[in-house]
């Protein structure tokens, strides 16, 4: 999950030139600050993945990324794409937890 947050932060930062060129207003103070603060929070969030509240932080950051549609469409699209990645991570997490509970992992067999 830490790797996903780092990759998402990098992609969010790579959207800065897109926002500067595609947006009619260009890169404004508000949009630049939004993108940079979001990326910084994602980098910092990658460092706390061992905490019990890490998944809540990850999903909160994802909601903030999707709300980037209000800043620029490119940021919102990145948020939606990584939203699908986070949904898949949640599915995998649930599936592995169920397999562990049932003892179906290869390392749990006799």
> Tens digit of pLDDT for each residue in 20-38?
888 778 888 989 999 999 9
User: How confident is the model at residue 40, as a pLDDT?
Assistant: 97
DSSP assignment of 20-70 equals HHHSTT-S-HHHHHHHHHHHHHHHHHHTTTTSTTHHHHHHHHHHHHHGGGG
| Rounded distance between C-alpha atoms, residue 105 and residue 45, angstroms | 29
* pLDDT tens, residue by residue, 47-67: 999 999 999 999 999 999 999
Domain containing residue 65: 2-103
Band of residue 6 on the pLDDT scale cut at 50, 70, 90: very high
The pLDDT of 2-13, averaged and rounded, is: 96
Q: Is the pLDDT assigned to residue 109 strictly greater than 80?
A: no
In a domain, 110, yes or no: no
| Rounded distance between C-alpha atoms, residue 4 and residue 109, angstroms | 31
In a domain, 90, yes or no: yes
Q: Answer whether 12's CB lies under 8 Å from 35's CB.
A: yes
Confidence (pTM): 0.87
| Rounded distance between C-alpha atoms, residue 76 and residue 54, angstroms | 22
Q: Answer whether 49's CB lies under 8 Å from 2's CB.
A: yes
User: How confident is the model at residue 108, as a pLDDT?
Assistant: 80
Number of domains present in the structure of the chain: 1
In a domain, 51, yes or no: yes
């Amino acid at each position: 999950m830490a790797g996903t947050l780092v990759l998402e932060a990098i992609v969010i930062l790579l959207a800065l030139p897109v926002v500067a060129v595609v947006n009619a207003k260009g890169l404004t103070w508000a949009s630049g600050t939004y993108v940079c603060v979001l990326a910084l929070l994602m980098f910092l969030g990658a460092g706390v993945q061992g905490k019990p509240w890490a998944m809540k932080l990850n999903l909160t950051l994802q909601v903030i990324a999707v709300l980037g549609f209000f800043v620029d469409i490119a940021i919102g699209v990145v948020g939606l794409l990584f939203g699908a990645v986070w949904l898949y991570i949640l599915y995998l997490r649930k599936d592995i937890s169920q397999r562990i509970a049932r003892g179906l992992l290869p390392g749990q067999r006799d």
